[in-house]
Amino acid sequence: MSLRLNLLNLRSRIKFMWPYFCLIFLFLTAPVYGGMDELFHSSSKLEEAMVVKVPSSDTIILENGQRIKLLGIESYGPPPRPVVKYDNKGRPIEDKDIQPTISLEEQAIIFAQSLMEGKKVKLEYDVDSRDEEGHKTAYVYLPNGHMANIELLRQGFVHLRIRPPNVKHENLFKKAYQEARKEQRGFLSY
Protein backbone atom coordinates (compact mmCIF):
# COMPACT_ATOMS: atom_id res chain seq x y z
CA MET A 1 0.00 0.00 0.00
CA SER A 2 2.78 2.45 0.87
CA LEU A 3 4.51 1.68 -2.45
CA ARG A 4 1.30 2.58 -4.29
CA LEU A 5 1.01 5.86 -2.36
CA ASN A 6 4.64 6.68 -3.14
CA LEU A 7 3.99 6.06 -6.90
CA LEU A 8 0.89 8.28 -6.84
CA ASN A 9 2.84 10.95 -5.00
CA LEU A 10 5.67 10.69 -7.53
CA ARG A 11 3.18 10.98 -10.42
CA SER A 12 1.64 14.14 -8.99
CA ARG A 13 5.13 15.64 -8.52
CA ILE A 14 6.01 14.86 -12.14
CA LYS A 15 2.76 16.51 -13.35
CA PHE A 16 3.60 19.55 -11.27
CA MET A 17 7.22 19.69 -12.50
CA TRP A 18 6.46 19.06 -16.21
CA PRO A 19 6.26 22.76 -17.23
CA TYR A 20 9.58 23.41 -15.50
CA PHE A 21 11.21 20.55 -17.41
CA CYS A 22 9.92 22.07 -20.67
CA LEU A 23 11.35 25.50 -19.84
CA ILE A 24 14.71 24.01 -18.90
CA PHE A 25 14.72 22.10 -22.19
CA LEU A 26 14.01 25.29 -24.15
CA PHE A 27 16.82 27.21 -22.47
CA LEU A 28 19.28 24.36 -22.96
CA THR A 29 18.44 23.93 -26.66
CA ALA A 30 18.18 27.65 -27.50
CA PRO A 31 21.86 27.95 -28.55
CA VAL A 32 21.29 25.17 -31.10
CA TYR A 33 18.51 27.23 -32.74
CA GLY A 34 20.42 30.51 -32.62
CA GLY A 35 18.96 31.91 -29.40
CA MET A 36 15.62 32.40 -27.69
CA ASP A 37 14.55 35.09 -30.17
CA GLU A 38 14.68 32.60 -33.04
CA LEU A 39 12.69 30.04 -31.09
CA PHE A 40 9.75 32.40 -30.81
CA HIS A 41 10.18 34.57 -33.92
CA SER A 42 11.07 33.86 -37.49
CA SER A 43 14.59 33.27 -38.60
CA SER A 44 16.60 36.38 -39.31
CA LYS A 45 18.42 34.60 -42.10
CA LEU A 46 17.94 36.32 -45.42
CA GLU A 47 17.16 34.47 -48.64
CA GLU A 48 18.54 35.89 -51.89
CA ALA A 49 16.33 36.08 -54.98
CA MET A 50 16.13 37.86 -58.35
CA VAL A 51 13.05 40.01 -58.99
CA VAL A 52 11.85 39.62 -62.59
CA LYS A 53 8.59 41.57 -62.42
CA VAL A 54 6.78 44.08 -60.20
CA PRO A 55 3.05 43.84 -61.10
CA SER A 56 1.92 46.18 -58.30
CA SER A 57 3.51 48.38 -55.68
CA ASP A 58 3.19 45.67 -53.00
CA THR A 59 3.89 42.50 -55.02
CA ILE A 60 6.97 41.07 -56.74
CA ILE A 61 7.55 37.99 -58.88
CA LEU A 62 10.83 36.14 -58.49
CA GLU A 63 12.81 34.33 -61.18
CA ASN A 64 11.49 30.97 -59.91
CA GLY A 65 7.93 32.22 -60.56
CA GLN A 66 7.12 32.70 -56.88
CA ARG A 67 4.85 35.65 -56.08
CA ILE A 68 5.75 37.60 -52.90
CA LYS A 69 3.60 40.25 -51.17
CA LEU A 70 5.55 42.85 -49.22
CA LEU A 71 4.85 42.79 -45.47
CA GLY A 72 3.61 45.85 -43.59
CA ILE A 73 2.18 47.62 -46.62
CA GLU A 74 -0.73 47.42 -49.05
CA SER A 75 -1.08 48.89 -52.53
CA TYR A 76 -3.73 51.49 -53.31
CA GLY A 77 -4.87 49.35 -56.24
CA PRO A 78 -4.45 49.37 -60.00
CA PRO A 79 -4.30 52.65 -61.90
CA PRO A 80 -7.67 54.02 -63.03
CA ARG A 81 -8.57 53.39 -66.64
CA PRO A 82 -8.95 56.53 -68.74
CA VAL A 83 -12.46 57.42 -69.85
CA VAL A 84 -12.70 57.15 -73.62
CA LYS A 85 -15.44 59.01 -75.50
CA TYR A 86 -16.69 57.79 -78.86
CA ASP A 87 -18.29 59.63 -81.80
CA ASN A 88 -21.54 58.51 -83.46
CA LYS A 89 -19.58 56.09 -85.71
CA GLY A 90 -17.93 54.36 -82.73
CA ARG A 91 -14.48 55.90 -83.18
CA PRO A 92 -12.63 57.19 -80.12
CA ILE A 93 -12.56 60.96 -79.76
CA GLU A 94 -9.21 62.44 -78.81
CA ASP A 95 -9.48 65.39 -76.48
CA LYS A 96 -6.57 67.64 -77.41
CA ASP A 97 -7.14 69.94 -74.41
CA ILE A 98 -6.37 67.23 -71.85
CA GLN A 99 -2.75 67.13 -70.78
CA PRO A 100 -1.45 63.60 -70.21
CA THR A 101 -0.92 62.94 -66.52
CA ILE A 102 0.42 60.00 -64.62
CA SER A 103 -1.87 58.87 -61.80
CA LEU A 104 -0.43 58.27 -58.34
CA GLU A 105 -1.15 54.54 -58.74
CA GLU A 106 0.99 54.47 -61.90
CA GLN A 107 3.71 56.51 -60.16
CA ALA A 108 3.69 53.99 -57.30
CA ILE A 109 4.15 51.04 -59.68
CA ILE A 110 6.88 52.86 -61.64
CA PHE A 111 8.71 53.68 -58.38
CA ALA A 112 8.40 50.06 -57.17
CA GLN A 113 9.69 48.78 -60.52
CA SER A 114 12.67 51.14 -60.41
CA LEU A 115 13.45 49.96 -56.86
CA MET A 116 13.21 46.21 -57.38
CA GLU A 117 12.74 44.98 -60.94
CA GLY A 118 15.78 43.18 -62.35
CA LYS A 119 17.63 43.35 -59.03
CA LYS A 120 18.91 40.70 -56.67
CA VAL A 121 17.13 41.25 -53.36
CA LYS A 122 17.14 39.59 -49.97
CA LEU A 123 13.91 38.29 -48.44
CA GLU A 124 13.24 38.18 -44.72
CA TYR A 125 10.23 36.28 -43.44
CA ASP A 126 8.34 37.03 -40.23
CA VAL A 127 6.32 34.76 -37.93
CA ASP A 128 3.70 33.91 -40.58
CA SER A 129 5.22 33.49 -44.03
CA ARG A 130 1.73 33.60 -45.64
CA ASP A 131 -1.13 36.07 -45.30
CA GLU A 132 -4.83 35.22 -44.88
CA GLU A 133 -5.28 34.94 -48.67
CA GLY A 134 -2.42 32.42 -48.85
CA HIS A 135 0.13 34.74 -50.49
CA LYS A 136 3.76 34.29 -49.46
CA THR A 137 4.91 37.42 -47.60
CA ALA A 138 8.32 38.91 -46.82
CA TYR A 139 10.34 42.01 -46.08
CA VAL A 140 12.38 42.83 -49.20
CA TYR A 141 15.89 44.27 -48.85
CA LEU A 142 17.47 46.08 -51.78
CA PRO A 143 21.12 45.66 -52.83
CA ASN A 144 21.97 48.91 -50.95
CA GLY A 145 20.60 47.39 -47.71
CA HIS A 146 17.44 49.51 -47.51
CA MET A 147 14.09 47.78 -47.09
CA ALA A 148 11.87 48.27 -50.16
CA ASN A 149 8.72 48.02 -48.02
CA ILE A 150 9.85 51.04 -45.98
CA GLU A 151 10.94 53.05 -49.04
CA LEU A 152 7.52 52.63 -50.69
CA LEU A 153 5.80 53.67 -47.48
CA ARG A 154 8.16 56.63 -46.96
CA GLN A 155 7.22 57.97 -50.42
CA GLY A 156 3.50 57.68 -49.61
CA PHE A 157 2.80 55.18 -52.40
CA VAL A 158 1.27 52.45 -50.19
CA HIS A 159 -0.96 52.03 -47.10
CA LEU A 160 0.50 51.09 -43.74
CA ARG A 161 -0.93 47.63 -42.99
CA ILE A 162 0.57 45.76 -40.06
CA ARG A 163 -1.02 42.39 -39.37
CA PRO A 164 -0.07 40.57 -36.19
CA PRO A 165 1.82 38.36 -35.59
CA ASN A 166 4.07 39.88 -38.30
CA VAL A 167 5.21 42.88 -36.26
CA LYS A 168 8.99 42.49 -36.39
CA HIS A 169 9.61 45.95 -37.90
CA GLU A 170 6.42 47.68 -36.75
CA ASN A 171 8.22 50.73 -35.33
CA LEU A 172 10.15 51.32 -38.57
CA PHE A 173 6.92 51.17 -40.57
CA LYS A 174 5.13 53.60 -38.27
CA LYS A 175 8.05 56.03 -38.41
CA ALA A 176 8.16 55.90 -42.25
CA TYR A 177 4.38 56.44 -42.44
CA GLN A 178 4.56 59.42 -40.09
CA GLU A 179 7.37 60.92 -42.18
CA ALA A 180 5.34 60.55 -45.41
CA ARG A 181 2.28 62.01 -43.73
CA LYS A 182 4.20 64.96 -42.30
CA GLU A 183 5.83 65.69 -45.67
CA GLN A 184 2.51 65.03 -47.51
CA ARG A 185 4.04 62.62 -50.01
CA GLY A 186 2.20 60.48 -52.54
CA PHE A 187 -1.33 59.54 -51.57
CA LEU A 188 -0.93 61.36 -48.27
CA SER A 189 -0.75 64.72 -50.10
CA TYR A 190 -4.53 65.05 -50.28
* pLDDT, tens digit (0-9, with 9 covering 90-100), for 13-69: 666 655 665 556 555 554 444 444 444 444 467 999 999 999 999 999 999 999 999
Q: How many domains does the chain have?
A: 2
**How far is C-alpha 35 from the chain's CA centre?**
24
Question: What distance in Å separates the CA atoms of residue 122 and residue 141, rounded to the nearest whole number?
Answer: 5
- Are residues 87 and 24 both part of a single domain? no
d(CA 153, CA 55): 17
57: domain range?
A: 43-189
pLDDT at 92: 87
Same domain, 132 and 62: yes
The CATH number linked to 112 is: 2.40.50.90
Q: Would you say 110 and 57 are in contact if contact means Cβ atoms under 8 Å apart?
A: no
107 and 119 belong to one structural domain: yes
- pLDDT, tens digit (0-9, with 9 covering 90-100), for 74-129: 998 877 777 788 889 999 888 776 666 788 889 999 999 999 999 999 999 999 99
Q: What is the pLDDT of residue 36?
A: 45
Same domain, 125 and 170: yes
Q: Report the predicted TM-score, pTM, of the whole model to 2 decimal places.
A: 0.69
Same-domain status, 52 and 146: yes
Q: 142 and 83 share a domain?
A: yes
Confidence at 185, pLDDT banded by 50, 70, 90: very high
Q: What average pLDDT does this structure show over 153-180?
A: 95
